[in-house]
Amino acid sequence: MAESLAPPWQEPGGLERVAAYPRPPALVRDTRLVRVEAGGRLLAESHQSLRVLETFHPPSFYLPPPAFDLSLLVPAPGRSFCEWKGVARYFDVLLPDGRRLPRAVWHYPEPTPAFAPLAGWFSLYPAAMAGCWVGGQPVRAQAGGFYGGWITDELIGPFKGDPAHPELI
């Protein structure tokens, strides 16, 4: 019986070393429950997600459209370009009390061929949300306003954007 090899970022005990994540990034399915709340409302929840794993970055989680309360998403101006995934489009989260979380959610409507499974799926900035959880575990936001990484306890840093590691900023 052939023994399967763990990916190079996998450490004993289920830990993941982000410095060993690949470049170009990997796209990995995850079945843990992902839950996101914004302004006291459930914004998204799913057992189906895709994680983007890139060297020194905590993963970004992408969820399928049915996981989201799409009535809270409003297209926002502007785009950004990722050399790996392509052109991202942004959404504001418009809460029922009138508060707006600007450009807090994004997606790739037409990603590059290597990231085709992400087409139309949404990701978000954990720092903009009231709370994000993966498998019941609270998520800490990656430092820096540019990054959308989700930090959970199984991740071993350092992480890009961490002021304690200026060589990674």
Task: Summarize pLDDT for 86-96 with one digit per residue, the tens.
Answer: 999 999 999 99
- Kindly report which listed range (2-6, 10-14, 41-45) carries the lowest average pLDDT score: 2-6
| Domain ranges, residue 30 | 12-163
Assess if residue 59 is contained within a domain.
yes
> Which H/E stretch holds residue 137?
strand 137-138
Task: Count how many domains the chain has.
Answer: 1
Q: What does the alpha-carbon distance between residue 134 and residue 12 come to, in Å, rounded to a whole number?
A: 20
Write out pLDDT tens, residues 49-59: 999 999 999 99
Burial (CB < 10 A; 0-12, 13-18, 19+), residue 149, is: buried
Residue 162: is its pLDDT beyond 90? no
pLDDT confidence tier of residue 4, bands split at 50, 70 and 90: low
Quote the pLDDT of residue 160: 87
Assess if residue 40 is contained within a domain.
yes
| CATH number, position 56 | 2.170.150.40
Q: What does the alpha-carbon distance between residue 48 and residue 14 come to, in Å, rounded to a whole number?
A: 19
- Dihedral angle of Cα 51, 149, 15, 137, to the nearest 10 degrees: -90
Residue 144: is its pLDDT beyond 90? no
Assess if residue 151 is contained within a domain.
yes
Q: Supply the Cα-derived Rg of the chain in whole angstroms.
A: 16
Quote the pLDDT of residue 169: 66
